[in-house]
Chains A and B, each alone.
Chain A
Amino acid sequence: MALVKYIDTDGNVTEVEMEAGETVMSLAVNNMVDGIVGECGGAQACATCHCYLDESLSKHFSARSEMEEAMLEAAPERKENSRLSCQLELHDDLPDIEVRLPSSQY
């Protein structure tokens, strides 16, 4: 199974094996990865699972919904490639995925 690599602001990498049915957020929460909080459990209500997804990988995931876009718009450290990791669903056909985490979630 492919890996999700979580990279913190200091460049430290935590690699976790993907599980289908999980999201990038829930996989982090279930593997004690620091930097993804997920307070609302995936209801798009808190933006505490904010991550950066490289543009080249974005084609593997569904596009940002209007709600996700609006939540991210006001999130700290917003960038072009910001995503809510609770909306990034993992499945069997994915290659290795890298996400970078903002400093504000530590």
Chain B
Amino acid sequence: MQQVVIIGASHAGAEAAIALRTQGWEGKILLVGDEPTLPYQRPPLSKGYFHQAVSDQQLLIKKPTLYEKAKVEVMLGESVTAIDKANRTITLASGSSLSFDYLIIATGARARKLSIPGSDLGCINYLRTLSDADKIISQVSAQSHLLVVGAGYIGLEIAASARKLGANVTVLESFPRVLSRVTNEQMSEFYQNLHAQNGVDIKLNSGVTEFRRSGERYVAVLPDGEELTFDSAVIGIGVQPNIELAELAGLVCENGIVVDNKTNTSAPDIFAIGDVSNHPNPFYQRQIRLESVPNAMEQAKVAAATICGKEKTHDAFPWFWSDQFDVKLQTAGLSQGYDSTVIRGDMAAKKFALFYLKKRKVIAVDAINSPKDFMKAKMLIPTGINIPESKLADTTSDWFE
């Protein structure tokens, strides 16, 4: 019997396993993951799960019984140490090996580590897994002081969730503004104000040079010499794709595992999907790597279809969301390379859309509590839209009519 092996019991991995079955794969399906838990949703770890609105059962992407129904063999707590593409086998840390006819790599990404004196103290955390989240949450309580290093989405979501639990929060950011890699200055200012209004202390142009213990608590030394006392810290300074297995196996890698629009890697019958894949995007006409659940799900379906001999191409438009305090951000598209922006709506009322344009073409939108603008933009931007800036800004009529 033919066998598909999926490395990574992740969002992408779980989706691929089930999609293979629904698309008609009749052979064996093996899903191998190094964590002890069935595949779960990571986005709520910094949001609903953190402030206890979502339980661990609700985190599961698929219920345990579905894997049985779909005859997916799940191997948890198993890490893969090597891929042998010539002999079509993978080696597990336990020493055994598995053969495959098709291999899907869904190894995701891991948190980038900070390497400074004291960064190995037990109070210094990174958020990627459920066990990371449980450890962080156990160290946060009302009146405790949480230090967040890095004002990206993860850092800011954690800050917002910790405030909901009543903790004091300080965020240290090395750039002059928050979310500097993904938004423009106005949006950064909006989030800085939002966090300030909710009692988060954000220090820009800052950072940390050293952590050390101070009695029952800890101290962070800032670049200007200031010392800040805290109880626990989370570092959110980005991720790096888990490409080592693929690289060792000789697959082409460059900021992720390079794949085509069918999720094929450079090796026959080996696919890569989700955060680890560097894939072509037809709208932006370049290779991109996304840290995104919708992208992982879409690529999973494409890989499954391709293995089942069906025609399916990955051309989904990137989108993201972030919940912080009473603000829901929905982003459609990638704003890199924009040459102008337009605000539609009222920033002070926390209800507006920020359009990013390049050569008068709309390339992305950040929608704040404006789901309708987001939905329309997600549908229309990929078709190529040139809309006068005055029309985008005019809230007396719809911009998409």
- A39 lies within 8 A of B379 (CB): no
- B66 lies within 8 A of A41 (CB): no
Residue B371 interfacial (CB < 8 Å): yes
CB distance from A6 to the nearest CB of B (A): 14
Q: Mark B44-66, 1 if CB is under 8 A from A, else 0.
A: 10001000000001000111011
Q: Which of A56-106 contact B (CB under 8 A)?
A: 67, 70-71, 73-76
- Cα distance, A46 to B294, chains bound together (Å): 9
- Chain B interface main SS type: helix
Q: Which of A18-45 contact B (CB under 8 A)?
A: 21, 29-32, 34, 37, 39-41, 43-45
Residue A53 interfacial (CB < 8 Å): no
CB distance from A80 to the nearest CB of B (A): 17
- Cα distance, A41 to B371, chains bound together (Å): 16
- A41 lies within 8 A of B61 (CB): yes
Residue B359 interfacial (CB < 8 Å): no
Shortest Cβ distance from B296 into A: residue: A39
Which A residues are in CB contact (< 8 Å) with B69? 31-32
Residue A51 interfacial (CB < 8 Å): no
Which B residues are in CB contact (< 8 Å) with A49? none
Residue B321 interfacial (CB < 8 Å): yes
Q: Mark B246-269, 1 if CB is under 8 A from A, else 0.
A: 000000000000000000000000
- A40 lies within 8 A of B294 (CB): yes
- Cα distance, A43 to B63, chains bound together (Å): 18
- B61 lies within 8 A of A47 (CB): no
Residue B297 interfacial (CB < 8 Å): yes
Which of A29, A40, A44, A67 gathers the greatest number of chain B CB atoms within 10 Å? A40
Q: Which of A31, A34, A45, A75 contacts B330 (CB 8 A)?
A: A45
CB distance from A52 to the nearest CB of B (A): 18
Shortest Cβ distance from A27 into B: residue: B63
Which A residues are in CB contact (< 8 Å) with B371? 44, 67, 70-71, 73-74
Which B residues are in CB contact (< 8 Å) with A70? 370-372
Q: Mark B88-111, 1 if CB is under 8 A from A, else 0.
A: 000000000000000000000000
- Chain A interface main SS type: loop
- A31 lies within 8 A of B66 (CB): yes
Q: Which of B41, B48, B62, B323 contacts A30 (CB 8 A)?
A: B62
- A43 lies within 8 A of B323 (CB): yes
Which B residues are in CB contact (< 8 Å) with A39? 293-294, 297
CB distance from A32 to the nearest CB of B (A): 5
- A71 lies within 8 A of B375 (CB): yes
Q: Which of B65, B297, B379 contacts A76 (CB 8 A)?
A: B379
Shortest Cβ distance from B18 into A: residue: A32
Which A residues are in CB contact (< 8 Å) with B62? 29-30
CB distance from B360 to the nearest CB of A (A): 23
CB distance from B51 to the nearest CB of A (A): 14
Which B residues are in CB contact (< 8 Å) with A32? 18, 21-22, 66, 69-70
Which B residues are in CB contact (< 8 Å) with A37? 297
Q: Which of B362-401 contact A (CB under 8 A)?
A: 370-376, 379
Which A residues are in CB contact (< 8 Å) with B18? 32
Q: Which of B61, B66, B321, B375 contacts A43 (CB 8 A)?
A: B321
Which A residues are in CB contact (< 8 Å) with B328? 44-45, 67
Residue B152 interfacial (CB < 8 Å): no
Which B residues are in CB contact (< 8 Å) with A31? 66, 69
Given contacts A30-B66, A34-B22, could you give 5 more A-B pairs where the C-beta distance is less than 8 Å?
A: A30-B63, A32-B70, A67-B371, A74-B372, A74-B376
Question: Can you report 7 residue pairs joining A to B where beta carbons are below 8 Å apart?
Answer: A30-B66, A40-B321, A41-B44, A43-B321, A70-B370, A71-B372, A74-B371
